[in-house]
Structure 1
């Protein structure tokens, strides 16, 4: 007996929008700066559907932002990352949620990797600093 539930594309889109809203809100909770969402769905060679990128002003803030995102997604949507790279003293934490990859950078690290330039063909949404 197959008990799997098939989601319609509307449900998938709604769930993805919920996830993106929680991610951005969790970033803003911890006063992340320069939040950008990059929609990559129209690109054929994309590694994921969305990148959400922000920065913190210290390694402590970078870790706190990443921790808050994980906590909120777990609590509100019962979602867990596929992988987490970086840590307590990292200048870059990457959270992989399959179709959404979150990058929390220290400003100099973000400038070095130029992620937004690499994926400039995507559709960008910027959020005002809170």
Structure 2
């Protein structure tokens, strides 16, 4: 296993932990590595029930990743209205949606060739 792969797996684990910490829902990991001309290796997509919860998910992810891995996001956008916040960790891009915005944009269908892993939550 390469070092990059291992670091990516560790980052994914901490991002998921950040989402679950504040009860983010419908967590999907899209593996984009087999698709040509993608901007990153993975999308992690989840949703929250309000702009307050979306921002809480984003803050939780950033706090856990920063504390555990000493990594900061390369770019974050969308926190002003918190309907769709994007957190860019270069190899992994996290999309945190409000439910109705996620349904409207349906980015999973745009990446239909991606291998999707859904994370079960028990809350």
TM-score in terms of structure 2 length? 0.95
CA RMSD in angstroms comes to 1.1
Secondary structure in 2 aligned to 1:94? strand
1:10 is displaced (CA, Å) by 1.5
Counting only pairs closer than 5 Å after superposition, residues 85-104 of structure 1 correspond to structure 2 as: 85-104=77-96
Larger Rg: 1
Shift of the alpha carbon at 1:112? Answer: 1.1
Check conservation: 1:74, 1:80, Cα contact below 8 A: yes
In 2: Cα distance, 1:129 partner to 1:58 partner: 18
Unpaired runs of 5+ residues, structure 2, are none
Report the 3-state secondary structure (helix = DSSP H, G, I; strand = E; otherwise coil) of the residue aligned with 1:37. Answer: strand
- Counting matched residue pairs gives 122
Q: Do the aligned residues in 2 keep the contact of 1:83 with 1:97 (CA within 8 Å)?
A: yes
Map of 2:59 onto structure 1: 67
The alignment partner of 2:39 has SS state of coil
Q: Which runs of 4+ in 1 moved over 3 A?
A: none
Q: Is 1:37 the equivalent of 2:23?
A: no
> Does the alignment pair 1:108 with 2:109?
no
Query: Please, which runs of 5 or more residues in structure 1 have no aligned partner?
Result: 1-8
